[in-house]
């Protein structure tokens, strides 16, 4: 009996040691991998090099072009290309290989950016944009995601969440399978609704903020963003989930923030 206790005590010591090492590795990572977001100066943790991030963005964009259908609408393409070039110039990242594409999908009211300067608009969002100013609102937001390296930041947070899950699994090794299952599920829900989704909303708000600055620097009136989000709100026809469950701020929240930022952002605005 005495020998078993000693063996068990030794096992627990190794488990605790493993957890301590894991936590020290995570802490060290936080110290050495922090960068600063342009304009907002928010400190961010990124565990991937920019070359890795750009390579992933290029590969994903190639896949998007293979699976999607590029729009043949010359008017839409001209609007997106013109706004994209102006806002990319304002972003001052000449090292990025900027590409802008319209995907023929009228049912999808969305756009997205990939690392390294790849931006895609689904044709379904263009009626909501209405004109080049509206396109500039969306373009500024998407270019801001690329400029702030939000994709690499999200991947870094996902990696840390996975490490945390593994650390918890080690700590719970002496628990029953049922108890392990309950606690790991609770951890997953806590990460999703307590960390990941609030952080995603923070990134979206940050992209709104930086996007307004970029469109203003490019010569577009940042006040046009209010009308765009009002149209987005009308287009949603009341199909909204509570904000705390969503990865994006509510339309009302976005409009309120835009109004708060306009005095600052208008300092960058010069009519062409």
> What is the pairing mode between strands 118-122 and 99-103?
parallel
Task: Identify the three-state secondary structure at position 56.
Answer: helix
Its sign, for the CA torsion 240, 244, 248, 251, is: positive
In the annotation, is 142 catalytic? yes
> What is the pairing mode between strands 118-122 and 111-114?
antiparallel
Distance CA 111, CA 119 (A): 7
Q: Which helix (H) or strand (E) holds 84?
A: helix 74-91
- Selected catalytic residue, list 67, 78, 132, 142: 142
Q: Are 74 and 186 in contact (CB under 8 A)?
A: no
How many angstroms from the chain centroid is the CA of residue 218? 23
Distance CA 138, CA 124 (A): 13
Distance CA 20, CA 138 (A): 45
Distance CA 195, CA 62 (A): 31
Q: What is the DSSP string of 145-202?
A: HHHTTHHHHHHHHHHHHHHHHHHHHHHTTTS-HHHHHHHHHHHHHHHIIIIIHHHHHH
Q: Are 119 and 99 in contact (CB under 8 A)?
A: yes
Active site residues: 142
């Amino acid at each position: 009996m005495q020998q078993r206790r000693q063996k068990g005590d030794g096992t627990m010591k190794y488990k605790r040691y493993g957890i301590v090492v894991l936590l020290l590795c995570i802490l060290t990572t936080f110290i050495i991998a922090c960068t600063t977001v342009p304009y907002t100066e928010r400190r961010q943790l990124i565990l991937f090099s920019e070359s890795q991030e750009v390579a992933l963005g290029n590969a994903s964009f190639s896949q998007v072009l293979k699976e999607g259908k590029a729009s043949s609408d010359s008017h839409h393409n001209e609007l997106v290309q013109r706004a994209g070039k102006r806002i990319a110039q304002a972003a001052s990242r000449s090292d990025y290989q900027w590409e802008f594409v319209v995907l023929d999908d009228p049912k999808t009211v969305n756009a997205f950016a990939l690392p390294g300067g790849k931006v895609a608009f689904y044709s379904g969002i263009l009626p909501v944009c209405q004109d080049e100013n509206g396109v500039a609102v969306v373009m500024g937001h998407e270019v801001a995601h690329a400029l702030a390296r939000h994709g690499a930041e999200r991947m870094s947070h996902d990696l840390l969440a996975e490490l945390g899950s593994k650390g918890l699994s080690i700590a719970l090794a002496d628990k029953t399978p049922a108890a392990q299952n309950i606690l790991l599920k609770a951890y997953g829900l806590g990460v999703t609704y307590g960390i990941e989704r609030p952080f995603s909303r923070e990134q979206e708000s940050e992209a709104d903020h930086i996007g307004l600055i970029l469109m203003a620097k490019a010569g577009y009136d940042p006040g046009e963003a209010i009308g765009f989000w009002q149209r987005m709100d009308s287009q949603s026809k009341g199909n909204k989930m509570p904000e705390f469950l969503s990865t994006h701020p509510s339309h009302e929240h976005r409009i309120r923030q835009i109004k708060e930022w306009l005095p600052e952002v208008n300092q960058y605005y010069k009519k062409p």
